[in-house]
A and B are shown apart, each in its own frame.
Chain A
């Protein structure tokens, strides 16, 4: 089956720093989503991005489907950005396959 790898597994930054999170996948996928899980466990859908680039405020994402990776950029980090960021890809059977996540800690 499709493998999804996220890097780095952990990231600690000072408030105001920029960061790039990566998601690699091992086969062609129908779609890709980025999620943020806050420290209270709520999962929020950030981007639904099969290809190309999308931006939402300080966050943006780029997926290069032909090279099987996606990047999530966070600019001017805030403490509220802390949590775990998950990448999930949609395989041929429309099921989501999840990466293990990147745990981000933003220090004030």
Chain B
């Protein structure tokens, strides 16, 4: 199994541009989450999905998410702002527990 994969690893965006961060898992986990991590801080939850086709939390401003199937959980930055500069981490969780498995992250800079 590849586990949780994320692309791209690094990206630089200009203010106002949009892009999609990709996340995929091949472990058939129902639950997937997006976090952001800022320097010297722990992780902050952006959004989660309990299963394909479900939306379980109000999406924060500036982001858009979709969960069309079990494997993929893309995060879209609609109109990037410098405050969205961060490392974005995707995680998946089996339905039997809340044990989280993380992808390698995407380091995003918005100039």
Contact = CB atoms under 8 A, between A and B. Distances in A.
Nearest to A87: B42
Contact of B42 (A30, A48, A100): A100
B98 A94 contact: yes
A100 B99 contact: no
Given A41-B87, A43-B89, A96 B102 contact: no
Interface string B31-56: 00000000011111100100000000
Give chain A's interface secondary structure class: strand
A2 to B, nearest CB: 13
A42 B104 contact: yes
A4 to B, nearest CB: 8
Nearest to B102: A43
Interface residues of A, number: 22
Contacts of B98: 30-31, 33, 90, 94, 96
Contacts of A101: 42
A42 B91 CA distance: 11
A48 B99 CA distance: 6
A46 to B, nearest CB: 11
Question: What range describes how many residues of B lie at the interface?
Answer: 10 to 19
Contacts of A35: 102
Given A30-B98, A90-B98, A99 B89 contact: no
Interface in B57-111: 87, 89, 91, 97-102, 104-105, 107
B4 to A, nearest CB: 10
A60 to B, nearest CB: 18
Contacts of A28: none
A45 B107 CA distance: 20
A96 B45 contact: yes
A51 to B, nearest CB: 14
A101 B37 CA distance: 12
Given A30-B98, A95-B48, 12 more contacts: A31-B97, A40-B104, A41-B107, A42-B102, A42-B105, A45-B102, A86-B42, A90-B98, A95-B45, A96-B43, A100-B40, A101-B42
